[in-house]
Structure 1
């Protein structure tokens, strides 16, 4: 006997309010990212975010609070994305220092060139210029903690001095961000394979040195 013939409702669970809210949140965050990347941060208005997401601004404000909170959610999304990529990569990474460096650099380079990371960089510049102390503080705190956690996961077992690890981390991120910026100013979209190899070698030398 079929479900209809038995008089019972077709199988299928209705989504909970929490699930609907999560879906709405995802739509809004992705709409904000797309708007920043495709239209520029100055055009990422409350109206544009609402239009792109298909969610009324009233509903967005009810869930997020205000536009700044939506933009900070983009920052948080970047942290989640980067953490997820690295956690997955770490499970497959080798046990030696060079292997860990290679995995970390490759994953970070992939992440930095994602649209969400581009939006993140736009927000960094915007937030510094706007002097919004709350957003700047949240962004700095989240970014610093995120990087520290990631590098500790990859290199904690090597018992490296904290200053050495911080220097290698800052050098790596600055180099990758610079290469990513260079990709934006040319239509050739270079891969920077040689530069990435040189970066990995330099970081390994930094971490393995006795000084």
Structure 2
């Protein structure tokens, strides 16, 4: 079945419920961390459906993975920008974001994403060639995340370039702390998380931005 046919289909209420149930079951299967859960046949078995039924809803495995990623993105939502009262200090905003990401990266949706990422090609060109819909979904996350970060600090006069830098490295930095937690660590990860947030807040502080000798190429 052509991708356009799948994308154009408007499922009725019952069909949408079936689709949603398939996606939730696929996320649960991937969240187990079992490398075998990325198999289409394995997903079908875990979902309790035939592969043909899954293909009817999503077209192919690429369509399924892209839909799974959209599902997790919808549940994750945006940064709580609207919930931040005007004038909230930079440090409070940074600590809130770091804590939100730390908790989110331990959730089942994040485990599912990690399992899927581990099974996909590392090379971007190869990923785009083999799984174009999945690659497009992943590619859409970075601009959306950067835009959310810019909105979060937009009323405080923070240098947008620095916000962009933080947006680029923060997911990996917090993921590292989560990995330490999962693997077991003698480090105090609460202190580490607090230190990370304090360092970012100091870097984003407009007064620090304008201080002599702080800008680097």
TM-score, normalised with respect to structure 1: 0.78
Stretch deviating more after TM superposition (57-66 or 130-139): 130-139
Are 2:123 and 1:132 equivalent residues in the alignment? no
2:204 to 196, 203, 207: 207
Residue of 63, 80, 96 corresponding to 1:69: 63
Cα distance, 1:107–1:189 mapped onto 2, change above 3 Å: farther
Q: What displacement does 1:203 show?
A: 0.8
Unaligned runs of 5+ in 2: 1-9, 210-214
Structure 1 gaps of 5+ residues are: 1-15
Larger relative contact order, structure 1 or 2 (CA cutoff 8 Å, min sep 6): 2
Aligned length: 192
How far, CA to CA, are the matches of 2:11 and 2:170 in structure 1?
A: 42
Alignment-derived partner of residue 84 in structure 2: 93
Matches within 5 A, 1:21-40: 21-38=15-32, 40=34
> Is the Cα–Cα contact under 8 Å of residues 128 and 136 in structure 1 kept in the other structure?
no
CA distance in 2, matches of 1:135, 1:190: 40
Q: Could you tell me how far apart the structure 2 residues matched to 1:190 and 1:132 are?
A: 36
What is the CA RMSD across the aligned residues, in angstroms?
A: 2.6
2:37–2:43 CA contact under 8 A, matched in 1: no
Give the ranges of 4+ consecutive aligned residues of structure 1 lying more than 6 Å apart after TM superposition.
Answer: 188-191
**Per the alignment, do residues 178 and 164 of structure 1 end up closer, same or farther by CA in structure 2, a change over 3 Å counting?**
same
Q: Distance in 1 between matches of 2:16 and 2:39?
A: 22
**How far did residue 42 of structure 1 move?**
2.9
Question: Equivalent residue for 2:96?
Answer: 103
Task: Work out which of the two has the higher radius of gyration on C-alpha atoms and give 1 or 2.
Answer: 1
For the 8 Å contact 1:83–1:150, the answer to whether it is kept is no
Cα offset for 1:189? Answer: 11
SS at match of 1:25: helix
Structure 2 residue aligned with 1:6: none
TM-score (norm 2): 0.76
Aligned partner of 1:193 in structure 2 is 190
